[in-house]
Amino acid sequence: MNLSGFPGFFLSRFPDLVGGRVLVALSGGPDSVALLHLLGDPRLELELEAVHVHHQVRGEEADRDAEFCRRLCRGLGIPFHLERLSPPSHPDEGREGAWRRLRYEALGRIASRTGADAVATAHQRDDVAEGVLVQLLRGAGPRALAGIAERTPENVIRPLLPWCREEIVRWLSERNIPWREDSSNLSEEHLRNVVRHRLLPVMEEVAPALRSHLVHLAAALAADEEYLGAQLRGEDLWIDPWDPDGGVPLERIASLHPALRVRWLHAQAARAGLGRATQRQAEALGRVLDGEGAVAVTLARRWVLRAARGCLWLEPPFAIEPYSVTVSTGESIELPLPGWWVRVREAAGAEDPAVRWRYGVPGDVELTVRAPEPGDTVVDRRGHHRLSHLLASRLPRHLRPSWPLVCAGATIVWVPGVWEPRQERVSGSVTMEVLHR
């Protein structure tokens, strides 16, 4: 496929981006340099900016790559951004996976800052073929073998996927457009380089059309994944780690077809920012769902998927520090518990879907919201109650140490969603609302 057809391809596949702002991930290699020039075609009417991600691991060579990209953008009149990364230390997802995550996080930050409509990366056809082999050698499943998406939900686009590396290099050479070669692409310390330089050439001696076959395999699996993903989205079975009602029933997950069970685990891990689940984690989930004695699955970064009280919960690997905040009438305060807010008003306003609970609390004393402390008790007409028992009866265990208590002076007057005094509301009280966003 000749690259002269690129403008027409872009117009047909990304019509909503025509005339918009696109941030180009520019490494300085042939693929990204070609992409930057191709996206500059006047027919696309794009407002381009470019970002070079500096990994700070190749010394002067990496500095020269960054300077090359800077000069290239200056010559084309394209705004340039340089983003430096700190090398990951002992990442749970592996070094290459950690670099990839950090790169996309950096791209997302700059896209947000610049108001870009999309981020364009220069993945091409050979990347798909090589990726399928890499994932096969790592023992990956169909989801990983499905290749590289042309467009992601985060609006990362890959407009070069129909073209191979040879076609891209030829297009650049015909136009005398220079590029940089990354010496690390020759190092066989990386599995992808072993596949690219040793395995694929040998295999193509037996099957000359192997790259095309691998690309077609990825496309077929991607179509299957898209269908199964739609089926899974229809089930709406996602865990919210910070919601006391955020677990999902064990029986609902257990009733899924085995293919959807595995995809649910991958999708749930991805929603929590934990990347892909492993085959071992998928097998462990099966033992939990089948009642084989296991009650938990440890995911990436030490997050834990735990079965308790008939549900699956997602527990973070960290504890929220104890807190105590004073809140006054008219104030709205964000709590350390992610996604939770409190506010106090003279009277309840219009219905707000974010409000989970509201309660009349005394308005003539200082109100504080704090985390539980050892020995906390609450008092109502039925007597004293140990707060730890009430929390255990209502909340998953990872939320109990940090769940907000509302206090008037030294007295606990309300525990949202867990306890309130069995008595009439205080006359002349103000309304406290707890919101989840």
Closest CA to 240 of 185, 152, 316, 183: 316
Domain spans of the chain? Answer: 3-123+158-186, 236-315, 324-436
pLDDT above 70 covers what percent of the chain?
Answer: 95
Q: How far is CA 416 from CA 42, 109, 192, 257, 319, in A?
A: 58, 35, 52, 37, 20
pLDDT, greater one: 41 or 229: 41
pLDDT in tens, 198-253: 999 999 999 999 999 999 999 999 999 889 888 888 888 999 999 999 999 999 99
**Which distant-in-sequence residues (6+ apart) come within 8 Å of 86 by Cβ?**
56
Strand 430-436 to strand 411-414: parallel, antiparallel, or no bridges (unpaired)?
unpaired
Q: Which two tokens stand for residue 177?
A: 């457009």
Give 374-386 pLDDT, tens digit per residue. Answer: 999 998 877 788 9
Contacts of 173 (CB under 8 A, 6+ apart): none
> Which architecture does CATH list for 3-123+158-186?
3-Layer(aba) Sandwich (3.40)
Residue with tokens 């076959």: 213
The length of the chain is 437
- Identity (one letter) of the amino acid at 67? E
Mind listing the pLDDT tens digit for each residue in 390-436?
Answer: 999 999 999 999 999 999 989 999 999 999 886 555 555 789 999 99
Q: Which residues touch 306 (CB under 8 Å, ≥6 apart)?
A: 295, 296, 297, 312, 313, 314, 315
* pTM of the shown model: 0.75
Q: With residue 407 as reference, give the H or E element that holds it.
A: strand 405-408
What is the pLDDT confidence band of residue 129, given thresholds at 50, 70 and 90?
very high
131-176: per-residue pLDDT in tens? Answer: 999 999 988 888 889 989 999 989 999 999 999 999 999 999 999 9
Give me the pLDDT at residue 124, please: 97
Q: Which residues contact 383 (CB under 8 A, 6 or more apart)?
A: none
Is residue 339's pLDDT more than 80?
yes
Predicted confidence (pLDDT) at residue 87 exceeds the cutoff of 80: no
The band of 37, judged by pLDDT with boundaries at 50, 70 and 90, is very high
DSSP SS3 for 307: strand
- The answer to whether 97 and 191 are in contact (CB under 8 A) is no
